[in-house]
Amino acid sequence: MTAARPLVLIVDDEPQILRFLVHALSASGHDTLTAATAAQAETQVATRRPDLVILDLGLPDADGKTVIEAIRAWSDVPIIVLSARDQEMEKIMSLDLGADDFVGKPFAIGELLARIRVCLRPRREGEPSTRFRLGPLEIDAAEHRVLRDREPVHLTPKEFELLLALAETPGRVLTHRQLLTRIWGPAHADDVPYLRVFVGQLRQKIEFNPGSPELILTEPGIGYRAFAAR
């Protein structure tokens, strides 16, 4: 049995962007829906239950972020935000509101398709897995153990938590705030320098070349993402 083609809702007020995205997504095995306004987008999500939403933040009738909030109120559908390169704050707020990832405009289609693949990867069912792979690393969450090429790597508990948070969702960006809240608690949600120090230490221990990291990638001004195998 062949898997059904995933249904992608594209929300953008620029007809030209919709035009090439529809062609590109159809050619890469997706079905598409389009919406040009926030109101249309919310109706489409509710009635057609798409598998993924691609959302432009600049909509004529409302801010794209309000759409994220409206969808997240009742649905876990993955959302990828399209935004201009210089709008760091917009990206961070969208991710913190529950968007899964972002792609900066202008973008090459390969980048968007890679993000779509990450977001559409099947969610793990039943018992949450306790073993993850990240490049050459094997991470055992239950035993708090990390092996690199079968050699144990010694991490402090906080470093381990950080690695685990990133490895659980490979390829997906986590904002500074999300990581800080998860590992150090809400009181430290804004201590970005703190996080930077720990990421630096972690890279020293797990990267082959900490100067040009390949396992934990920086999204400048926004957060970090773990390397995702294609």
Partner 1 sequence: MPEPPFRLRGPTVSGAVLAAVSVALAAGIVLAWQEKLPATTVPLIFLMAVLVSAVLSGFWVGVATAAAAFFVMNFLFTEPFFTLQVSRPQDIVTLGVFLCAAGLVGSLAGSLRDRAEAARTRAGTLAILSAFSARLAEVDTRDAALAQAVAHLSALAGGDAVAVVLSDLPKPVAAMPALAELAVPDAQAAERCLRSGRVEHASAEGWQGAALTFLPVPDGTGLLALGHCRLSGADTAQRSVAISALVEQLALALRRLDASLSAAAARQDAEAEATRSALLASLSHDLRTPLATILGAASTLTELHDGLSPAARADLLAAISQEAGRLNLHVTNLLQMTRLSRSILPRLEWVDVNDIAQSAVARWQRAFPHAACQCDLAELPMIRAEGGLLEQMLFNLLDNARKHGTAPVTLRTGRVEGGLTLAVADAGSGPAKGLRDWLEGGQMWPMAEQRGLGLAVAKCIAQVHGGRLQWSDGAFRVFLPMQADP
List phi, psi (to 5°) of 209.
Answer: -130, 95
CB of 89 to partner 1, least distance (A): 13
Nearer to partner 1, 16 or 47 (CB): 16
Distance CA 151, CA 7 (A): 43
Interaction with partner 1 in 42-61: which residues (CB under 8 A)? 58
Judge contact between 152 and 146, C-beta under 8 A: yes
Distance CA 182, CA 163 (A): 12
Q: Which stretch binds partner 1 (CB under 8 A): 99-107, 160-168, 186-194, 214-222?
A: 99-107
Binding test (CB under 8 A) with partner 1, winner from 28, 37, 66, 181: 28
The residue whose two tokens read 């009635």 is: 47
Judge contact between 112 and 80, C-beta under 8 A: yes
Binding test (CB under 8 A) with partner 1, winner from 5, 6, 17, 188: 17
C-alpha torsion sign, points 12, 14, 20, 23? positive
109 binds partner 1 (CB under 8 A): yes
Q: Which stretch binds partner 1 (CB under 8 A): 1-9, 24-32, 37-45, 63-71?
A: 24-32
Element housing 75 (H / E): none
Binding test (CB under 8 A) with partner 1, winner from 48, 49, 76, 110: 110
# binding residues, partner 1 (CB under 8 A): 23
Distance CA 7, CA 25 (A): 10
* Footprint on this chain of partner 1 (rule: CB under 8 A): 14, 16-17, 19-21, 23-24, 26-29, 58, 84, 86, 105-110, 112-113
